[in-house]
Structure formats: structure tokens, C-alpha cells
Structure 1
């Protein structure tokens, strides 16, 4: 362990494709095909030497730090590599929780990346993906490039694709709205919504045809989330009615939705209009990288 401190950018993600299936794996998890892309909205994670492991968030969270995914990631890294995770992790939260944007997952990945750097571990060590998978299905994505396709329980890397253009995106979430992922899957099991096959969007991404890929955006779990929480459906309907939206869908299991936009100006205008409607909103763009080390902290 060095005495360095690291500052990392931990970006959010959207699902360009999410296909949930009724069959389950040996763990009891649904088979999930997930095609994710990172966006510019990000938490800032600082990892600094400390006498013992602590995790704090800004603003402060209302649950014990031991339940934070970043804490769990540090403990899992320490156990696997036989090290002491004597660091203070500070997470400046900008990604809203209960949104489907992967906030807890990207924070956990940032801690894995930081400890990998501080402990001199090879980033290509396959154990890192296993550690990430043990924290949450989306965590491995944030250790790799964007966009990428995951299979299994949505946690096994199947393919990485050419970088997408810096496409404008607006994110919109009704305040005080959340969807229990567990409950969404339970409702899905009661009334499964068939998933489109991912082959076409995967082919478009492989060919670097972003326009064709955006036309194939799909999320069959989002249908369930919108049924569970009508305010999500209200946001989806509103976004789809706006000029300049290229594709609209739910982020993961919600409660945030996204619209890929034709211009930066459209995304900014829609974010402002959504806020006027009383919703949380953010204009951002697709980015090629996931968790990144910014610089040592001075």
C-alpha cells in the first residue's frame, strides 16, 4: 500500500438493450442480456490512506457504511488479495439512487480500480471481474470499456464494441419515485414480457452504426417498471412526444428514463423543461470510458 490518494470519476450507465428472460441460472438469477453504455453524469470517488476502512458519502447516506457497495468492494478485495483495506473512501454523489443508472455499482467499481492501482495488481487479473460480480451484476461493466454486452445474469462480458459518438442524452426521473428491482422481477415472472432478440443492435454496434443501434433500443423490464410506477410511464410518454428525441426507454429497472437526442441543444432544452415539470433531469452524453483515475490527490 502506498501513501497516495486517488480521485476517480465513476460514471453512470444506461441500457441500450436489456432483455430479461424467464429461465434462471444455477444461482437462481434470471438470464439477462444487457447492453450498456456509460454517460457523462458521474460520482467522484476519493480513496485515501487511513487507519481503518471507512466509507462516507456527500450528501450523507441514511444507512450504515457496511451496507455501501463501495465498502463491500473494499472488503472483498482485501479478502481475496490478503491485504488490509485501510482507506477512507469519500463518494460525492451526483448519480441519483433508485434510478437504474448504476450509481452503487460504479462506486464499487471505483474502489476496485483504486485498490488495484494502490496495491499494484494487474488490471487484467480475471479475479477482479469475479469480485465485481459478487457485489452486483452491473459492477463488472464499470471495469471495462463502453459500450459492452453482458450475458449470464447480466454480469458476464460477452462483447465490447467500437466507441460510440459523444451522443447527447437527457436523463429524467420523477422525484421520490423508486422501483424495487426484486419486485420488478417478481412482477415479470407473473406476466413475462418477451424480449426482442439482441442480435440486430449488437450487429449495428459491431459495425459502428450508432444511428441503426439507437433505433433498436429495447428494455422489456422497463415495461414492467412503468406498469408498477405510473410516473415512469408519464415521463416516457412525455419524452417520446418531444421534438428531437431519437430513442426513449427506461434505465435498467428504473425509475430514471433516458432519451437519446439529436443535438446538445435538444438535450439541454429537455432537461430544463423536465425540471419545470417538477422532475429531476440532467443533460449529458455517451462517453467511451467507464471508471477512470483522474489524478493523485494533492
Structure 2
């Protein structure tokens, strides 16, 4: 019997700050950040198949299905669960893509996490939240956060997560129109890699203006459009880049403030507003 799960959100994330505190022997950078979920993102639709096939039914320019984290997530989950002798779990997956690639909003990682959550439910795989997070880490360092279910203070390479309370506010996000390759930023000789570690208590009660994004200086120097967007948005508040770029954001306590700023954004940029989320929209499908 075909089972469906439509209109599954894959929310964007912001890095409210992002510090690079060191580097492991294997080359991975040690980070500290606070991940913030937004009520804006991609939407995925799932239908089960009984032939074991995984089909992405949406064409995405520049992203072959075989390389898509969504397809890879579905196949990873297949491998992690025992197959019923009379039924091989498969899926058709459609994606409404809104988040830009190379934007620092976690679009691909969020899509992968939503795929693991949704198919774990549809296939009745029975994997726990932690088991799904472990699978997700094989796909990317940000994927476990989206399965975690709430905003988080993250350390390590981003996989060590602790729940954190973040402000209920609105964000204006600007897409500068460039894609920033993550590897190019992390491999730069200009990147600061020794920021002093902070404690989670340092962030608590300091929702705006805390810390910085160590990747921002590098990205802004390599991609002038990022620097321009930051400079423009800073006239309204504490604007900064998210992730390794390229998107830039600024928080506002009231929606009307966000609307007023949004109305003045230069037309050569795409911009939008989003409200902070306290919990992932699919958290109810997760087993502890």
C-alpha cells in the first residue's frame, strides 16, 4: 500500500554566531555556534514504493539525483533497516526548492534531515532520534542539528548539541546572489582558527550582538557582494553572515520592523523575512 507524507518542511537555519576554535589532526575545524531554526525553507513530498527504488521526481539544476543529499539520505536509511521479505521500501521524493545553494542556510542538510525523519516514519523503520542523527552525520556536519529538533549550542565539528533558548523574533535575510564554496572559505590562510572558546552560559540572555562569524571576513574579502550586503543591512542593526555564506541576516523584535527594512532592500538582491522557530516542524515524528 502506498503511503504519502506531503508538505514536509525543511527549515532554514542561521548561525547566530560562529567561532572557529581550533583544528583537528584530520583537518576538520573545531567550531562553536548557535543554530537557529526559521519558519522559511524548502518543502518535500514523499510517496512510498514497494520496489526498493528511490526516485527524485523533481529536476534541480546543477544537482544530479545521484549526488543529491536527499537521495543519499533515503538510501542510507534503507541500508540501516531490515527489509521486509515481501516488500522493499522505496520512495518517490518531490522537492520545492526555495533555499539557495551555497547560502549558509543549511538547505541541503535540512532536506536530508527531513528525508530521514519522514521516511523513518513512512517506512516504520523505528530508528530513534539519536540513530537518525548518527546516520545524518555521515551526510554532513549540519544534518544532525536538523534532526535534533530544537535550537542548539553546537561544538566539535557541529555534532555536539545542547538545547538552547533563543529569542522569539523576526529576521530579514538577504541573498547576495553569489554561491560561496564552503571548502574555499575553510581552506583560506586568512581564516582565524584560534578564537577563545565560550560557554553556553555566555550566550544565555544575550540574544543579539553576541560573538561574531569568523568565516565572514574571509567570505567578504573573496566575494564583494557579501560585504556589500552586510554593510547595507548594518544600518538597521547587527547584520552578519550565516554559516560560510553567502546569506546575510539581521534580527528585529517586531514583524513591522522587519517589514519596514524589507521594503527598502535594493532590488538587485533577493530578500525575505522569517520568524524564529523554537522547534523543528517535524519534531513530533521523532522517537526519543
TM over 0.5: yes
Measured against aligned partners, the alpha-carbon deviations of 1:48-96 in whole angstroms (never above 9, x if no partner) come to 1234211133x73333101111011011111111344410111101112
Query: Cα RMSD over matched residues?
Result: 2.2
Q: Aligned partners of 1:266 and 1:197: how far apart in 2? A: 33
1:142 counterpart residue number = 146
2:35 aligned counterpart, secondary structure:
strand
Q: Secondary structure at the match of 1:44?
A: strand
Q: Which residue of 1 aligns with 2:98?
A: 94
Match of 2:197 in 1: 197
Offset at residue 98 of structure 1 (A): 1.2
- Over 3 Å counting, the alpha-carbon distance change for 1:106 and 1:259 in structure 2 is same
Instruction: Give the SS at the match of 1:219.
Output: coil
Aligned residue number for residue 228 of structure 2: 234
Match of 2:115 among 101, 111, 118: 111
Q: 1:173 to 1:155 in 2, by over 3 A?
A: same
What is the DSSP-based 3-state SS (H/G/I as helix, E as strand, rest coil) of the residue aligned with 1:9?
Answer: strand
Instruction: Name the residue aligned to 2:41.
Output: 42
Relative to structure 1, is the Cα distance of residues 73 and 192 closer, same or farther in structure 2, using a 3 angstrom cutoff? Answer: same
Find out whether 1:151 has 2:155 as its counterpart.
yes
Task: Determine the structure 2 residue equivalent to 1:171.
Answer: 173
- The aligned residue for residue 259 of structure 1 is 250
**Following TM superposition, where does structure 1 have runs of at least 4 consecutive aligned residues deviating by more than 4 angstroms?**
none
Within 5 Å, which residues of 2 pair with 1:1-298? 3-7=2-6, 8-26=8-26, 28-50=27-49, 51=51, 52-57=53-58, 60-83=60-83, 84-122=88-126, 124-157=128-161, 159-162=162-165, 164-175=166-177, 177-187=178-188, 189-192=189-192, 194-195=194-195, 197-199=197-199, 202-203=200-201, 206=204, 209=205, 212-242=206-236, 245=237, 247-274=238-265, 276-292=266-282
Does the 8 Å contact 1:194/1:220 carry over to 2? no
What stretches of structure 1 of length at least 5 have no aligned partner?
Answer: none
Q: In structure 1, how many angstroms separate the alpha carbons of the residues matched to 2:167 and 2:130?
A: 29
Structure 1 residue matching 2:215: 3-state secondary structure: helix
Stretch moving more, 131-140 or 220-229: 220-229
Q: TM-score, normalised by structure 2?
A: 0.88
Give the direction of change, closer, same or farther, for the CA distance of 1:191–1:287 in structure 2 (3 Å limit). Answer: closer
Q: In structure 1, how many angstroms separate the alpha carbons of the residues matched to 2:44 and 2:75?
A: 17
Q: Residues 101-130 of structure 1: CA distance to partner in whole angstroms, max 9, x if unpaired?
A: 000011000110011112334453532111
Separation (CA, whole Å) in 2 of partners of 1:101 and 1:38: 10
Q: For structure 2, which runs of at least 5 residues remain unmatched after alignment?
A: none
Contact residue 74 and residue 112 of structure 1 kept, 8 A: yes
- 8 A Cα contact 2:191 2:215, kept in partner: no
Count the aligned residue pairs. 278
Q: Using the TM superposition, give the Cα deviation of residue 194 of structure 1 relative to its aligned residue in structure 2, in angstroms.
A: 4.4
Q: Residue deviations 1:114-150, cap 9 Å, x none? A: 1111233445353211110011111011112332022
Contact 1:106–1:291, Cα closer than 8 Å, also in 2? no
CA distance in 1 between counterparts of 2:271 and 2:126 reads 38
